[in-house]
Structures are given as C-alpha cells and as structure tokens.
Structure 1
Amino acid sequence: MLKGPGRRSGAFVAMSFRARESATETRIGISVSRRVGSAVARNYMRRVIRECLRSCSEPRGPLDIVIVVRRAFGRREFRSVCDEVGDMVSAAGGGAVADLA
C-alpha cells in the first residue's frame, strides 16, 4: 500500500493513498508505532486523527488511505494536526467523510 502513487507528508503525519478499482467506499487505516509513545498516548493520537477525519472532507472516488503518525503530539497540537490531516485529505480530493466507527 505505501508504494502507491499518492503520498503526502507533514510535521506530524504522513499519508499514502491509492485509487481502489471496483469499490464504492474509501477505506482509512491509521498506524501509530510503539516508538511514538505509551499505549495511552498512541490511542489518543488515533482518536484525534479519527476526529479530524470526521470533520474534514473525504476524497472523491474510492481510495485506500494509510495515515502514519511520524511524531508524538498532545492536546496543544490538536488544531495543527487536524489542519494537517485536512489538507492532506483535501489534496486527495473533496467530498464528505463516511462513518469511521
């Protein structure tokens, strides 16, 4: 998946995406390495990214998206992370995000 044609990188996260053939929905995966922090911190980062994805637009067309946290972030960086994720998703295309459960 990470060798796909679309890649974006920022201070906190990196995103890779690729178009899906014969599919109707966008799939999103979030990866946070153990090196980034404790289990509590990693789960917090996943929740923040999910919330950012809910509030931004979804790429047009069905895509596979993998978001990898590059460095730890906390509550003070929430807005910066959301802006970064939103910009990356917008670069992949616009629309409205599906349920991320």
Structure 2
Amino acid sequence: MLCGFASIETDGNTVTCRKPNYEVGSFVTLKQEEVKNVWKLDEEVDLIDPDTLLDQNDENAATFVPKSCPDDAKQKRKACKNCTCGLAEELSGEKSAAQDSVKSSC
C-alpha cells in the first residue's frame, strides 16, 4: 500500500512515512540470479528416432468412416449434420459453381 516510501510508522489511526532521499539520476544495480541452461542438450541425452515412433500396425490401421455418410453411388450425396469427412465443403463448392453460371439477356 505504501510502496516506495521509507521510515513508515503507525500510531493508532495515523500513518507517517517519508520519501527516500534519492537524487535525480541516481541508480542502484540489482543482483540477478544466474540463468541455468535448462534446455541445453548434452551428448548423454538420447534423442528418439522418429522412424521408430510408428509401428507397421499403426501405419496399416483403418481410418474411421462415419456410418451416416453414404458411400453408394445410387443414393443422392448429402452431408451429415455434423459432417467431419469433408463432404459438406465439397457439396457447397458444387452449389456455388452452379449458381455462378452467367445467364445471357439475349
């Protein structure tokens, strides 16, 4: 509450303090802690080979296909309500291309 003041005294409900006797342009150097090189890597640190992170089973794993998105060519393609397979963006691109066709006034 009384930051920057010196000689702070309290007497009941009265607080008495003084400004420090600094001269204009004076400065004080502060001691700083040494910064440790936390992220410095030594030769002792073993790095992981990125080729060993995936197994053959992980590479051959089947991707998830939602049941609600139809794959049949007989059915009309319609995107799900919360489509995540990209069908909604694909269909909206076809609609905008059809609407952009110019009609002549002749």
TM-score range, shorter chain: under 0.3
More strand by share: 1
CA radius of gyration, larger in: 2
Structure 2-normalised TM-score?
Answer: 0.18
